[in-house]
Amino acid sequence: MQFVRQRLAFLLLSLWAAATINFVLPRLMPGNPAILMIGRFKGQLSARALKALELQFGVTHKPLWDQYLIYLNNLIHGRLGLSLTYYPVPVSRIIAESLPWTLGLVGVATLISVAVGLILGIYTAWHRGGNWDAILPTMATFTAALPYFWLGLLMLFLLGYLWHWFPLAHAYSTSLTPSFSWSFIRNMLYHALLPAMTIVISSMGGWLLGMRNNMIQTLGEDYVLFGRARGLSQRRLMIHYAARNAILPSMTGFAMAIGFVVGGALLTEVVFSYPGVGYQLLAAVQNEDYPLMQGLFLIIAFSVLITNFLVEILYARLDPRTRGGVHK
Amino acid sequence: MSASHVPISPRSLPTPRRLPVWHTIRSILQRDKRPLFGVAILAVFVLMAILAPVLTPYSPSQTGFQTMAAPSARHWLGTTASGQDVLSQFLYGSRISLGVGFTAGFIATLLAVIMGMFPAYLGGHTDTIMATVTNIMLVIPGLPLLIVITAYVHQTGPATIALVIGLTGWAWGARVLRSQTLTLSHRDFVVAARLAGENRWRILLAEILPNMLSLVVANVVFATIGAILAEASLEFLGLGNPNIITWGTMLYWADAGEALLGGAWWWIVPPGLAIALVGLSLALINFGIDQIANPRLRVNRIRKNRAGRGSHP
């Protein structure tokens, strides 16, 4: 319980930090960039919206502290302002429309990549010095260095453009209207496959290498040697003795890994014109739609922080060592 | 106790405490060729960057050639949609891509040392605060943050990009260096130095830092991989200065010029492949550095242990 409280405190602290970074950045920049943006929209917005914008980006004479409190208060109530590109649509609605696509894509791709990466890591460590152990880790090192967007471009070129196996863009065929029918879901999965493969291929290598290292460390432990001396079956040794203990430490890197995967997924979305938060974020940047950009950044950061919190809680349930050992 | 202290090679006998680094490197490279491959690949790219004017007769921004031409004897890597030579763009582009990568890698590592090593050694509230700041920076996703910062900065040249990537990419290194500093500061030789009345800063810089050097170097390598990828990503998104030729902006123009739909693979493949190969080379070098830092990972030891275990009845 103390562990959960501690992690919860850290979650709140990091959420606050992300929100504060979001507040400080535009005010920190030389020649507040928001002034230009607001100037550009002057004739087109209602006086009230304009005033809200000025407050949101610090183009106002109110004291900084007041601005900050108003900002936090708005944030707590889910008021992220109005998008300028889609004026007067609230930023929160655009987020609500794009977030499910990203969560679905990144969620499924990450689960696959973690599962396959861990299994291959266990396998190569167990057969250390074998043929696959010579090939797979080297390949993993290479795929881990592949830029996500470039891999996406290549897949698009080969599988989409040259061989016509997969659609070139979007989350579903534009001729269809979203529904819960089987044909729509099939169409959706078909469109998600190529971007998901891009994310899986680029992120799997890291899991494989991390798992292999941990597995090798674990295989050197006395209890594995003892199990071997007792004549336990290879399978039991590999899975119950070594792998189960090696998986947990490789999850410690999860926080950084998930941040990295999300970054990569944003690029993948851009390449495939997939209507998730990454695609919207880039569009917002290109249109200088700062309220939308801020809102998307916050939601991306918050999703990563909350996922990370949930994984840590799960991790502590599975591995009692982490619960008390943090302070030592 | 006895088994693990049997020397592996007789050469390691005479100097038990600190072997010359060169000695260690040579013995690692005899067993494991991967770091050598890494150095070789990186050397090729660095040479290409330096010798760009010798290797290609064209200027990277020179237009007027046939557009979207496939590779030929005149243009080994074909031409772009606006009739530029892809090979010269590739060669000249490597200068800035590698330059930004390594600069950002060094900035990030310098910050990691400052934010990780010093507070950990000094302890107290500074350490608690800095460790928390590090952990927060570690979990806030990097690329979205970079995108937002560059969006506000507007005109972002390579120097700005290197600075921003360096300023946001230090957290992982700081965490690694912090925990190593904490471990080392309880070791006998550091305690002995403290009891002998050595100056605190001297202990930090002369006793602890040299023992972490391999970790620091590993961090430069690691941070540089991340920086090269981040730079390419930002430029691909059009957030750099698209008029400065780098591997990232090449991909930006290739995407904007619909290179794929025109079938111009020669425009897309080289920059991305180069980024991946540089990343691979640095990762291979890191395998070697890891083995200096952590003798347990050394290839010969693992094999020996295993062989030994296998022969047990």
Domains and CATH numbers, chain A: 14-77 (no CATH), 91-281 (1.10.3720.10)
- Please report which confidence band the pLDDT of residue B85 belongs to, taking 50, 70 and 90 as the band edges: confident
CA–CA distance, B225 with B101 (Å, rounded to integer): 7
Is there a contact between A144 and B263 if contact means CB atoms under 8 Å apart? no
Residue ranges per domain, chain B? Answer: 78-294
Chain B residues close to A280, C-beta within 8 Å: none
DSSP A90: B
Query: How many angstroms away from the CA of B276 is the closest CA of chain A?
Result: 5
Cα separation of A207 and A244, whole Å? 15
Q: Please give the full DSSP string across chain B, using - where no structure is assigned.
A: -HHHHS-SSGGGSS--S---HHHHHHHHHHH--HHHHHHHHHHHHHHHHHTHHHH-SS-TT---SPTTPPP-SSSTT-B-TTS-BHHHHHHHHHHHHHHHHHHHHHHHHHHHIIIIIHHHHH-HHHHHHHHHHHHHHHHS-HHHHHHHHHHHH-S--HHHHHHHHHHHS-HHHHHHHHHHHHHHTTSHHHHHHHHTT--HHHIIIIIIHHHHHHHHHHHHHHHHHHHHHHHHHHHHTT-S-TTS--HHHHHHHHHHTTTTTTT-HHHHHHHHHHHHHHHHHHHHHHHHHHHHH-GGG-HHHHHHHHHHHHH--
pLDDT-derived band at B297, boundaries 50, 70, 90: low
Residue B307 has pLDDT above 50, yes or no: no
Which residue in A141, A151, A255 is closest to B138 by CB distance?
A: A255
Of residues B145 and A311, more confidently modeled: B145
pLDDT digit string, tens, across residues A7-20: 899 999 999 999 99
pLDDT at res. A328: 37
Pinpoint the alpha helices (H) of chain A.
Answer: 2-28, 33-40, 47-56, 64-76, 91-126, 131-145, 148-155, 182-219, 222-229, 234-236, 244-250, 254-272, 277-286, 290-318, 320-325
- Give residues 33 to 92 of B whose Cβ lies within 8 Å of A: 34
3-class state of residue A162 by DSSP: helix
pLDDT-based confidence at residue B264 (cuts at 50, 70, 90): confident
User: Taking the model in full, what pTM does it have?
Assistant: 0.85
Burial of A48-82, coded b for 16+ CB within 10 Å and e otherwise, reads ebbebbbbbbbbeeeeeeebbeebeeebeeebbbb
Stronger pLDDT, B242 or A85, i.e. the higher one: B242
Shortest Cα distance from B172 to chain A (angstroms)?
Answer: 8
Could you tell me which chain B residue has the CA closest to the CA of A255?
Answer: B139
Which residues of B, range 253-272, sit inside 8 Å of A by Cβ?
A: 255, 260-261, 263, 265, 268-269, 271-272
Of B139, B148, B303, the CB nearest to A297: B148
Lowest mean pLDDT among A53-67, B79-93, B172-186, B241-255: A53-67
Identify which of A233, A213, A237 has the alpha carbon closest to the alpha carbon of residue A225: A237
Inter-residue contact A194 to A272 (CB < 8 Å): yes
Q: How many CB atoms lie within 10 A of CB B21?
A: 12
Mean pLDDT of A271-298: 89
Residues A132-168: pLDDT tens digits? 888 888 888 888 888 888 998 888 888 878 887 888 7
Cβ–Cβ gap B232/A146 under 8 Å: no
Residue B141 has its nearest CB partner, among A138, A156, A300, at: A300
Q: Which CATH homologous superfamily contains domain B78-294? A: MetI-like (1.10.3720.10)
Residue from B31, B229, B291, B302 to probe the interface with A (highest A Cβ count within 10 Å): B229
So what's the pLDDT on residue A33?
Answer: 67
CA distance A316 to A3: 8
Instruction: Name the residue facing A161 among B142, B260, B309 (closest C-beta).
Output: B260
Task: Count Cβ neighbours within 10 Å for each residue of B134-161 and write b for 16 or more, e otherwise.
Answer: bbbbbbbbbbbbbbbbbbbbeebebebb
The closest CB to that of B276, out of A147, A255, A300, belongs to: A147
Min Cα distance B14 → chain A (Å) is 28
Both tokens assigned to B238: 């059009």
Q: Pull the structure tokens for residue B63.
A: 């237009």
Q: Does B305 touch chain A (CB under 8 A)?
A: yes
CB–CB contacts below 8 A, A to B: 154
Whether residue A153 contacts residue A217, with contact meaning beta carbons closer than 8 Å, is answered with no
pLDDT digits (tens, 9 = 90+) for B106-157: 999 999 999 988 888 888 888 889 889 998 998 888 899 999 999 888 778 8
B151 close contact with A: CB closer than 8 A: yes
The whole-angstrom separation of Cα B28 and Cα B21 is 11
Q: Which chain B residues are Cβ-neighbours of A268 within 8 angstroms? A: none
Mutate to test the interface with B, among A141, A150, A287, A289 (most CBs of B within 10 A): A150
- Lookup result for tokens 């579903």: A172
Looking at the predicted structure, is the pLDDT value of residue B202 above 90?
no
- A141/B237 touch (CB, cutoff 8 Å), yes or no: no
